Amino acid sequence: MKFQVLSLIGHAPHPLTGELPSAADRFEDVLAVGEEAERLGYDALAVGERHAGAFLSSSPTAVLGALAARTRRIRLLTGVTVVAILDPVRVAEDYATLDQLSRGRVELVVGKGAEAGHFDLFGLDESRQWDLQREKYELLRRLWREEEVDWEGEFRPPLRKVTTVPRPYAGPPRVWHGSATSPNSTELAARHGDPLFTANAIQPREAYARLIGHYRERFAAYGHDPARAHVAAGSGGLLIAGSAREAVSRWKELYEAKVAQSFRPDLEGKAGYNTPFRTIEDAVAGGPQLIGGPQEIIDKILGWHEVYGHDLQSVTVDGFGLERAEQTDMLARFAEEVAPVVRKEAPTTLWTS
């Protein structure tokens, strides 16, 4: 298995102290933690894209560009690129530029986004979100694979003999499809033979397993080689301690305060927004959060792997307001005590020659 560190660059007051770091300090945290993740042997860094709420990730290309300048090996992903609200020409240009700057380390994870409200912000009809997603993604594919593109669609003006520049570094970057609640995303990924990135962050495992099952079934139905159906999985945050008991004792107040802070009453009952794992004990037992000692976390990831068959595991350490030193310590423990066991037990062909 491969491992990724994801940041959505949250910028909410600390759930217990109310302290709020400056935006500049939060960006520096992300860059410093990214450098440390490369040193520790992680395979990828990812930056989310949010345009509403308590986040600073509205310009992931800028942040990933800074990470590209401060790293040399690690892959750079998005989590997700909200193609549904963006101009595919701009996406093609921006990420091909980043791909050149990083010498081919870029991969996209595309999706419609998990933040309610960004369709209104960009003057788009949320009820057409899947039509927007499909059309814009399919144009992006052509822009990275063809030159002098002629195209007409519903949501932007026609293109006549357009070649976006720069071209990607060494052919079109791999594009994953982010999947959280709807088979629309799994269908789109399967149709084009693309890999799938399951959110695995809010709902019980069974909800994500159904979507992955749909993806694999449709992937084969479209005639693609099932061996190419790579799957990645997110997680609802990493809190690692010496044991599950120690983790519960140490992080209970923080975890439950963060859940309460993040609760969206206007979205109650809508899948993919409010976690049903309101207590830390529930999260440890059955949630998508990675909370506990190294062995509990190993067992949870391998349990997911039995069901998902995934190749890439994403972890997040900055979602609970931890200090930078705590974040890097947690990444180090995971890299030293969890990752080697899981890599051995769940080998993958992803990102191998």
Which H helix or E strand runs over 77?
strand 75-78
pLDDT-based confidence at residue 265 (cuts at 50, 70, 90): confident
Backbone φ, ψ for residue 161 (5° rounding): 50, 55
How are beta strands 44-47 and 75-78 bridged, if at all?
parallel
Domain-located, residue 350: no
Domain-located, residue 208: yes
b (16+ CB within 10 A) / e for 111-146: bbbbbeebbeeeeeeeeebeebbbbbbbbbbbbbee
pLDDT-based confidence at residue 115 (cuts at 50, 70, 90): confident
Query: What pLDDT score does 165 carry?
Result: 98
**Per the structure, how many domains does the chain have?**
1
Range of the domain at 79: 2-345
Query: What pLDDT score does 113 carry?
Result: 84
Domain-located, residue 63: yes
Asked if the model's pLDDT at residue 282 lies above 80, the reply is yes
Mean pLDDT is highest, among 125-129, 192-196, 274-278, for 192-196
Full-model pTM: 0.97
**Computed over its alpha carbons, how large is the radius of gyration of the chain?**
19
Domain-located, residue 316: yes
Q: What percent of the chain has pLDDT over 90?
A: 93
Number of other residues whose CB lies within 10 A of the CB of residue 325: 9
Asked if the model's pLDDT at residue 272 lies above 80, the reply is no
Domain-located, residue 305: yes
Backbone φ, ψ for residue 186 (5° rounding): -70, -35
CATH code of residue 262: 3.20.20.30
- Check if the beta carbon of residue 101 is closer than 8 Å to that of residue 68: yes
pLDDT-based confidence at residue 353 (cuts at 50, 70, 90): low
> Mean pLDDT over all residues of the chain?
96
Amino acid identity at 230? H
Domain-located, residue 351: no
State the Cα–Cα distance between residues 301 and 50, nearest whole angstrom.
27
Domain-located, residue 296: yes
Q: Which residue has the higher pLDDT, 111 or 113?
A: 111
Domain-located, residue 244: yes
